[in-house]
Structure 1
Amino acid sequence: MRQSLLIISRQSPWSGPSAREALDIALAGGAFDLPIGVLFLDDGVLQLVPVQHAATLRQKDLSANLQALPMFGVEALYVSARSVQERGLDAQALILAAEVLEDDALAALIDRYDQVITL
């Protein structure tokens, strides 16, 4: 039986390699048809902002890779409602269609997965 995996991405796209590493794990697992979910939490929700100025920070833009997640079979995408609200973002304007979850639903989500990786 295949183990399900939840990747919790908590870092902004420009704060270091963690955001890209979380995305790479999700894409690799999806390529092998593993049941994978991705939760964007805390500053991780900033990865979903539509206009990124990555070149200004001498970084690569993650938006194209993020939008490839469904093509790799990673369709279980979640975002913390509190994290979105605290950062003044509009959940409807994010670059991915992700299920917005309140705090009480986050614990239930994590419990549904066999393995959890937090980056």
Structure 2
Amino acid sequence: MKSLLIINRQAPWSGPGAREVLDIALAGGAFDLPIAMLFLDDGALQLKPQQQPTTLQQKDLSANLQALPMFGVESLYVSARSLAERGMSPDSIAMPAVVLTDSELRALIQRYDQVVTI
């Protein structure tokens, strides 16, 4: 069975992209595919705690994020650079995710059979 890494670059409030990425991960996990998610660039903002999407007339994605491990998506990663560029620290993220340097990101991507960037 091939492994899949989903690279999520979508800010949580930038439109439907962020929700669609999570839906893909949840669907793949339901079929027992080995899936991991990497939050990169604005995707790191999805891990910011206490978001208030209703003020932007968006749906809250936190329930989908919390459901990832229940659907077999247990490997979550985030770019240290992406966090720093957005004023976030590894201690401030809402989900347990492995924080990776740029060189560790390259090694991570090489470990997966398929990589999808959204």
TM bucket normalised to smaller: over 0.9
Offset of 1:90 from its aligned partner?
A: 1.7
Alignment correspondent of 1:70: 69
Structure 2: gaps spanning 5 or more residues: none
| CA distance in structure 1 between the aligned counterparts of 2:32 and 2:92, rounded to whole angstroms | 29
1:46 aligns with 2:45: yes
The one-letter amino acid paired with 2:69 is: P
Asked whether 1:104 is paired with 2:116, we answer no
| Aligned counterpart, 1:113 | 112
| TM-score w.r.t. length of structure 1 | 0.97
- Contact 1:81–1:101, Cα closer than 8 Å, also in 2: yes
Distance (Å, rounded) in 1 between the aligned partners of 2:110 and 2:56: 37
- Whether contact under 8 Å (1:67, 1:95) holds in the other structure is no
Aligned CA RMSD, in angstroms, stands at 0.7
**5+ unaligned residues in a row in structure 1: which ranges?**
none
Q: Give the CA deviation at 1:86.
A: 0.7
1:11, 1:65 → 2: CA distance?
A: 15
Output the TM-score relative to the length of structure 2.
Answer: 0.97
- In structure 1, the partner of 2:31 is 32
- Post-superposition offset of 1:95: 1.2
Partner amino acid, structure 2, of 1:88:
G
Aligned equivalents of 2:71, 2:7: Cα separation in 1: 18
Amino acid at match of 1:85: A
Which residue number in structure 1 is paired with residue 15 of structure 2?
16
- Cα distance, 1:17 vs structure 2: 1.3
**Paired residues of 1:81 and 1:100 also in contact (CA < 8 A):** yes
State the AA in 2 paired with 1:55. Answer: T
CA displacement, residues 55-84 of structure 1 (integer Å, 9 cap, x when unaligned): 000000101110110111111100000000
